[in-house]
Amino acid sequence: MVSMLGKRHAALLLAPASLLLCVFFLYPLCVVAWKSVYSGGYTLASYASLFEGPLFAKVLANTLKVSFIATLLSTLGGYCLAVHIARQNGARRLIYLTLVMVPLWTSVLVKSFSLTVLLGDQGLLNRAIVSLFGEQARIQMLFNGTGVIIGMINYLLPFTVFPILASLLAVDPLLARAARLMGAGPIRIFLRITLPLSMPGVMAATLMAMTLSLGMFVTPALLGGRQDMMMANLVDLYTRQILDWEGASAIAMILLALSGAFILLLLKTQGGAPGQKEPTA
**Which tens digit of pLDDT belongs to each residue from 18-63?**
888 888 888 999 999 999 998 878 889 999 999 988 999 999 999 9
Mean pLDDT to the nearest integer, 218-239: 91
Tell whether the model's pLDDT for residue 275 goes beyond 70: no
Residue 66 counted as domain residue = yes
Residue 259 counted as domain residue = yes
63 within 8 A of 212, measured Cβ to Cβ: no
pTM over 0.75: yes
- Tell me which residue range forms the domain holding 121: 57-269
Top-ranked range on mean pLDDT: pick from 5-9, 79-83, 101-105, 178-182: 79-83
Residue 248 counted as domain residue = yes
pLDDT tens sequence across 159-174: 999 999 999 999 998 9
Residue 6 counted as domain residue = no
Residue 19 counted as domain residue = no
Residue 207 counted as domain residue = yes
Tell whether the model's pLDDT for residue 6 goes beyond 80: no
The number of domains in the chain is: 1
Here the CATH number for the domain that contains residue 206 is: 1.10.3720.10
Mean pLDDT to the nearest integer, 123-137: 87
Residue 250 counted as domain residue = yes
Q: Could you tell me what percent of the chain has a pLDDT over 90?
A: 53
Residue 208 counted as domain residue = yes
Tell whether the model's pLDDT for residue 225 goes beyond 50: yes
pLDDT tens sequence across 72-110: 999 999 999 999 999 998 889 999 999 999 888 888 888
Top-ranked range on mean pLDDT: pick from 110-124, 126-140, 201-215: 201-215
